[in-house]
Structure 1
Amino acid sequence: KRNFANGRRTYQAARCGACHRFDGTGGATGPDLSNVAGRFSVKDLAESLIVPSKVVSDQYRASVVLTTAGKVITGRIVNDNKGTLTILTDPFDASKITTVPADKVDETSPSKTSLMPEKLLHPLGRDELLDLVAYLLSRGNPNDLMFGE
């Protein structure tokens, strides 16, 4: 059986809510984690957490923007209108925005890597990771069968 309190603590310590919604709260940079139980097995969810760039939804894919001055900006394009490209460059800080006039953009391409840092959860031990996975799959329900005696 998994440890609910440890799963919730790991979710908070890893700052998952900065980018992901879960149980009605959190950010919107990454996918909503509230319904992962219907979409992922334990193995697939654990793999997505450990290797976030293996599968990235187009909806949350970062872009690589090359300016005419040769500057490379990687982030999530949050607005593309009125002749300006607005790019969120730090998934943990929504105030880290870069704007580029459309006429200064040389090229835009999809990033091959996830905005979720590749080694974000590497410090976790096996039990911490499995408790986090159980916490997410339970939809934050301490009475789920994955927890308890």
Structure 2
Amino acid sequence: QVPKEHVDDFKSVSQFKFFNTNNLWAKLGAVQRVVDQGSLNMEIIVNNKHLGDGLNVIQLETAVGAAMKCFEGGIGVNVPRSRFLPVKKTSDLMLVMSNLYSLSHGSLVMSPQRMFPSTPLVKLGDNHFAKVKEFLNRFATIPDLIELDHLTVSGDVTFGRGVSL
């Protein structure tokens, strides 16, 4: 759990080189043993959410990764960034849908046409790009991102065909 004032710091790959890929493997017998012992003591995370109809709700959740401490001999596996590409926001979706990546043997591979290996920073405004349907309606085609370094979009913006950024 990262305090809200440090979320942007946490996203910095220069400060934090390791990320949770949200992938856990466990022996079912070990899970049963921990449950039977009652030793699965997990902290509750309070997540305030705002629903589309204006209703504010509180979602109570636990971080399953925190359960690792309950298993004797549990280990973490360092999965290189090249093996996964999380898509949590439409900004991430834009990168994956672009010509920046291609699919090779089940893995997304950055285009050899890109002159530097870093991923562009893309920030799409939440008011018009938050939902996938809204996002898709704003692009005639996904722009060419091969040379893009940084893009911030705010406001009621649409993109035509054949755009290079």
TM-score > 0.5, shorter chain as reference = no
Please give the TM-score of this superposition, normalised by the length of structure 1: 0.22
Work out which structure has the larger RCO, using CA pairs closer than 8 Å and 6 or more positions apart in sequence.
Answer: 1
- Give the greater-gyration-radius structure (CA): 2
Q: Which has the higher strand share?
A: 1
